[in-house]
Structure 1
Amino acid sequence: MRKSLILIFFLFSGMSLFAQIVELTPIFGYTVAGKVDNYGRYFDIKDNALYGGLLSVQFDDLMYAELSYERNDTEGSGFLRTVDMAVEQYQVGVLREFSKGTVVPFTKVSFGTSRYVQKSGGDERAWLFSGGIGVGAKLILSERVGLRLFTNLMLPLEFDGAGFWCGIGTGGSGCSGGVSFNVPVVHWDMGAGLIIRLQN
Structure 2
Amino acid sequence: MKSKNCRFLIAILLILVTLGIQDLSAQTLELNGFYGWQLNGKAKLYDGEFRMQNAPNYGGKLAIGLSTTTFVELSYMRSDSEGYFAPYNVSTEPGE
> With structure 2 as the length reference, what TM-score do the two structures score?
0.49
Q: Which protein is bigger by CA-based radius of gyration? A: 2
Identify the structure with the greater helix proportion: 2
Identify the structure with the greater strand proportion: 1
> With structure 1 as the length reference, what TM-score do the two structures score?
0.27
Q: Does 1 or 2 have the higher relative contact order (CA < 8 Å, sep 6+)? A: 2
